[in-house]
Amino acid sequence: MDSSRVIPVPLVLVIDDEESMRDSCSQIIAKLGCRVETAEDGAIGLAKIRELKPDAIIVDLKMPGIGGLDVLNEVRLIDPQIVAIVITGYATVDAAVEAMKRGAYDFLPKPFTPDELRLILARALERRRLSIEAETLRREKKLLQDNIITMVSHQLRSPLVAIQQYFEVLLSGIAGELEAKPREMIRKASDRLTSLLELVNDWLQLARIDGGGLVAAFRPVELRPLLDRLIDFLAPLAREHDVTLEWGAPPGSGIAAFGDGASLEQVFTNLLHNGIIYNKKGGRVQVRLGEDSDEVTVEVRDTGIGIAAEHLPLIFDQFYRVHRSEETKAKGSGLGLSIVKKIVDAHHGRVEVSSEPGLGTVFTVRLPKAPREGSSG
Amino acid sequence: MTDEKAKILVIDDDPDFRDAVTAILTSGGYRVVPATGPEDGKAKLLSERPDLILLDIMMDSLFDGYVLCHAVKTAPEFESVRATPIVFVSAVKDIAGARFGFQGGGEGLSEPDDYIDKPVKPAVLLARVQSLLAKK
C-alpha cells in the first residue's frame, strides 16, 4: 500500500455490464470531480483494478461471468484500502449482507438518484482517505518510536558516560593524587554509576527488542566464531573470579543460526557472564555448540551456586533476582535473563534451564538453523 | 615519532568527554586536537594530519562515526591520510546492543583499527594508543 496515492483527484472504476448504467454513473461521478474508468465485465474490471489501482469501485452484483461478489473477494486481496460500492437491481437483504461481508463499503439498490450515488461515493472516498491517513500515522508512529529509542539512548547515556569518564580520570591520579578518603568515595560513586549505566543499557535494549527492530536484520550467523570471540573477551573476567572457561564445538564449521548477530551475542554474553559471576572459586563454565536437523543449540553449564526449583519459573522475569542476600549482593541490573528470553523469543527459539542448588545450572538455547546456501562457499 | 609528540585527533560531540580524554592523553605525553563532530573532524583530519584518530560513533546524526571511518578508509579525498589508525570509542551498546556488532561486515562499512569501550580506562586507552602508534 502506497500512501503517496492520496491524490487530489480520486479515480473511480465503474464495473457494470449495462452500457447505459456505465454512462450514467460516469457522468454523475465526473460531476463530483473524480476521474472515471469503466469496465463491461468482472474480468476486465479486475484487470483494470490491478493496473490502475482505483480509489473506489462501483460494481454491479449481477453480471455474466465473474460476478460482483467475486470481484469483491479479489479486490480485498489486491488492495483492501480500495472502497467498493455495490449496485444491483435485485435489492435483497441477503445480497446486501453478503456483499458487506466481503468487504463492500455500502450498497445501492437500482434505481437510484444521482444524489444518492454522489452522497455514498463522497462518503466512501472520505473513509478511504481516513483509513489511509490512519495507516500512514501508524507507520510514522512506529518510525518515531524506533528513533526515540535511539535518541533517548544517546541522550540518557552521554551525560552518564561523561561523568564516569571524569571519575576514571580522577581515580587514575592524572588530575593529581587523591587522599584515601575522597578516593574511596569517588570509587563508590563510580561503582554506583556503573550499575546505573548497566541498568540504562539493559532497559534500552529491552525497549529496542519490543520495538520489533530486531527481526528486520535477520541473516545467517555463524556461531563458532561468535563464541570464540566471546570466550576470549570474557577470559579476564573468568580469571578474576577464578573460574575456568571450557568451550567445545563439533568438528567442521558452518553451524549457523538465522538471526541478528549482535543480539545473539548479547544472549551468550549474558549467560556466560552470569555463569562466571555466580560461580564458586575454582568453578567451571562449559560452553557447548551443537546442531540437529533443524536447530542449533548452545549449552552453557556452570558449577555455580545453582537456582532452587521454586525460583526457576521466575528467573526470566524483569528485575527478578534469585540472590538477594548481602553476601552475594545484587550484581547487574536484574534484566539480563529477561533480555536473553526476549531475544531468543524474537528468533523463534527457546531457552531452557535446569539447575541443582549447590551443583550448578545449565542454560540451553535452541535457535532455528539458517537456511543452507546453494553452494558451500 | 621519537622527539615529536604524537598528535591525536579526538572526535566526539560531548565536550566533557573530550575534556576528560584530553586529560588522559596529555598525561601520556600526546598532543590532542579536539573536534566537535564528524564535519569538524573531517576538516581537522586533513589540515592537522594527526597520527591517530579517536572517533566516537555518534549514532544521532546521519554523518556518523561509521561513515567517517569508511570514508577515511576508502574515499579519494582522504588518500593522503588513509593510513591514519582509527579507534572507535563508544558506549558499546550504542551499536546494536552488543560488543562486536561493529564488525558486522554485512553493512559493507570499513572497520576501524581498534575499538575501546566508553567510558575508557585511562591505562587501557594509553596502552592501545601506544601499540597502534608503534605499528605505524
Question: pLDDT by residue (tens digit) across A63-106?
Answer: 888 888 899 999 988 888 899 999 887 667 788 788 888 889 98
| Span B105-132, average pLDDT | 82
**Which residue does chain B place closest to A270, by CA atoms?**
B98
The pLDDT value given to residue B99: 42
**Which residue does chain B place closest to A222, by CA atoms?**
B104
Name the residue among A164, A219, A265 with its Cβ closest to that of B99. Answer: A265
What residues of chain A lie within 8 A of the CB of B61, using their CB?
Answer: none
When mean pLDDT is compared across A114-118, A184-188, A259-263, B46-50, the lowest value belongs to A259-263
Q: Contact at 8 Å (CB) between A157 and B91?
A: yes
What residues of chain A lie within 8 A of the CB of B104, using their CB?
Answer: 261-262
Residue bearing the bigger pLDDT, A298 or A101 = A298
- Residue B68 belongs to a domain with what CATH number? 3.40.50.2300
* Distance of alpha carbon A139 from alpha carbon A154, whole angstroms: 23
Residue B78 lies in a domain: yes
Residues in chain A whose Cβ is within 8 Å of chain B: 150-151, 153-154, 157-158, 161-169, 172, 174-175, 197, 201, 204-205, 208, 219, 226, 229, 233, 260-263, 265-266, 269
Instruction: Return the percentage of chain A with pLDDT > 70, whole number.
Output: 88
Residue B105 lies in a domain: yes
What residues of chain B lie within 8 A of the CB of A150, using their CB?
Answer: 59-60
**Which residue does chain B place closest to A228, by CA atoms?**
B100
Residue B130 lies in a domain: yes
Residue bearing the bigger pLDDT, A277 or B110 = A277
pLDDT-derived band of residue A5, with 50, 70 and 90 as boundaries?
very low
pLDDT in tens, A314-336: 888 877 776 655 445 556 667 88
Q: Contact at 8 Å (CB) between A323 and A355?
A: no
Give residues with Cβ within 8 angstroms of A239, minimum separation 6.
Answer: none
pLDDT-derived band of residue B59, with 50, 70 and 90 as boundaries?
low
pLDDT in tens, A167-196: 999 999 998 999 999 999 999 999 889 888
Q: Answer yes or no: is pLDDT of A353 > 60.
A: yes
* Distance of alpha carbon A235 from alpha carbon A248, whole angstroms: 15
Name the residue among B20, B59, B91 with its Cβ closest to that of A169. Answer: B20
**Identity of residue A89:** G
| Span A294-303, average pLDDT | 94
B118/A175 CB distance under 8 A: no
A219/B106 CB distance under 8 A: yes
**Which residue does chain B place closest to A194, by CA atoms?**
B119
B23/A205 CB distance under 8 A: no
Distance from CA of B76 to the nearest CA of A (A): 30
A153/B93 CB distance under 8 A: yes
Give residues with Cβ within 8 angstroms of A73, minimum separation 6.
Answer: A102
Q: Contact at 8 Å (CB) between A85 and A120?
A: yes
> Which three three-digit cell numbers place residue A108?
445501492
The pLDDT value given to residue B94: 44
Residue B2 lies in a domain: no
ipTM over 0.85: no
Mean pLDDT, chain A, rounded, equals 85
Which residue has 585527533 as its cell numbers? B9
B96/A260 CB distance under 8 A: yes
A168/B100 CB distance under 8 A: no
Q: How many domains does chain B have?
A: 1
Residue B129 lies in a domain: yes
Give the number of A-B residue pairs with CB atoms closer than 8 Å.
87
Taking the alpha carbons of B122, B126, B129, B135 in that order, is the dihedral positive or negative?
A: negative
Q: Contact at 8 Å (CB) between A364 and A372?
A: no
A13: enclosing H helix or E strand: strand A11-15
What residues of chain B lie within 8 A of the CB of A166, using their CB?
Answer: 16, 20
Taking the alpha carbons of A59, A62, A67, A68 in that order, is the dihedral positive or negative?
A: positive
Residue B1 lies in a domain: no
Distance from CA of A268 to the nearest CA of B (A): 10
When mean pLDDT is compared across A113-117, A180-184, A370-374, B7-11, the lowest value belongs to A370-374
pTM value is: 0.55
Q: Which domain holds residue B90?
A: 7-135
Tell me whether B127 touches chain A (CB under 8 Å): no
